[in-house]
Amino acid sequence: MGIRFDSVTVAYDGNVVLDALDLRVEPGEVMALLGPSGSGKTTALRAVAGFVRPASGRVFLGDRDVTDLPPHRRGIGMVVQSYALFPHMRVQDNVAFGLKARRVAKAEIGPRVAEALEMTGMAGYARRYPRELSGGQQQRVAIARALAIRPDVLLLDEPLSALDARLRSGMLAELARLHRELPEVSILYVTHDQVEALTLADRIAVMDQARLKDCGTPQELYRTPRTEFTASFVGNANLLPVTVGDGGVSFAGGMLKVDTGGAAPGARATLCVRPHLVGLGSGPNQLTGTVAEIQWRGSTHRLYVDVDGHRIMADLRELKEPPVHGRPVTLHFAPEDATLLTAGVSGDG
Ligand SMILES: Nc1ncnc2c1ncn2[C@@H]1O[C@H](COP(=O)(O)OP(=O)(O)OP(=O)(O)O)[C@@H](O)[C@H]1O
Ligand SMILES: [Mg+2]
């Protein structure tokens, strides 16, 4: 079932922490809410769940306006960062909790709990207490508890942030599998980890300072970000301050050929070039500078090059002879690998 935010504003003591959010999650879609700490991600989730009341705007699940409904009548499963399992209850009772609260028939509770534990790979742990489980296992139980009520919508608030890196990547794959098994459930997934967002989401909504900054597929946001904020938050980016010219831009005293997309000549803009699309040696768009730093990162070398006071990053693969620190070096990039950003350029607030 889809989720729709219709100009949802949330304020605490007159402080707006979610500013007129318009966002639609399609039925069966995984939408990641990505943004820095304090940007309003959890608040948006709580507005859907019914734990916070919007100052204005409406929340829809499918075509039902749920803004005035209490949380337990919204058909939502929610998983929060800190598991929030009941410590004195066995796994099976934790998972049954939402079913009992919803007065599901006794005879149905057992099979539903078994099904949810099966889906999360926790069938063998039904009689354990939370303290007898690892962090990853506790999180699976929390997910099982959310799934047991057969929600139309699943809200996940940084569900993996308490896990170490290896467990996290395993759980990511598990979540992707769960989504394939429940293709009709819409998922709103809060994270500040771009890898999670890029891996799991059909679309990513980028939030900053209570506002939605950008929304698109991971590929769109990565390849053609609209704002500096998105460019730097979704992947790494070189952001060059440029001035729009005729058929290109001027930067550091030279001209670079790029698609200016109809930007007005003379306008200030930012050119986004991904570090892995910067090559070594001469080519179409050349930048000459001095090697400021070089880092070996296993599969790539990360080169920092100072070009006319601007530091450019280049991620280079399979370098037989890496450039030498302090020496001049020439970099290049293809015109089609650069994106000109005219919105949200530094300085226009
Ligand atoms: N109950 C509350 N009372 C007052 N202010 C609150 C309350 N809950 C959240 N806030 C404020 O609202 C803003 C947004 O908080 P929110 O929890 O939505 O951020 P977030 O994007 O989820 O951040 P994080 O990544 O750190 O979890 C913050 O400035 C926070 O201090
Ligand atoms: Mg949060």
pLDDT of residue 347: 42
Per-residue pLDDT tens over the stretch 5-20 = 999 999 999 999 999 9
Is the CB of residue 54 less than 8 Å from the CB of residue 47?
yes
**pLDDT band at 343; cut points 50, 70, 90:** low
pLDDT of residue 87: 94
Residue 94 tokens read as 């934790």
Pocket-forming residues, ligand 1, beta carbon under 6 Å: 12, 17, 35, 37-43, 192
pLDDT of residue 169: 81
Mean pLDDT of 261-289: 93
Per-residue pLDDT tens over the stretch 65-109 = 999 999 988 989 988 877 689 999 999 999 999 899 888 999 999
Average per-residue pLDDT for the chain: 91
The CATH fold assigned to 3-227 is Rossmann fold (3.40.50)
Architecture per CATH, 236-341 = Beta Barrel (2.40)
Of 10, 1, 162, which Cα lies nearest the Cα of 81?
162
CA 9 to chain centre: 21
Are 3-227 and 236-341 in the same CATH fold? no
3-state secondary structure of 107: helix
- Provide the whole-model pTM: 0.85
Per-residue pLDDT tens over the stretch 165-183 = 777 888 888 888 888 988 9
Looking up tokens 């999670």, which residue turns up?
Answer: 196
Which residue puts its alpha carbon closest to atom 7 of ligand 1? 12
Is the CB of residue 270 less than 8 Å from the CB of residue 348?
no
Question: Domain locations in the chain?
Answer: 3-227, 236-341
CA 118 to chain centre: 28
Mean pLDDT of 304-311: 96
Residue 160 has pLDDT above 90, yes or no: no
pLDDT of residue 312: 97
pLDDT of residue 345: 54
pLDDT of residue 61: 95
Q: Name the residue of 9, 21, 43, 233 whose CB sits within 8 Å of the most ligand 1 atoms, as the mutation to test its pocket.
A: 43
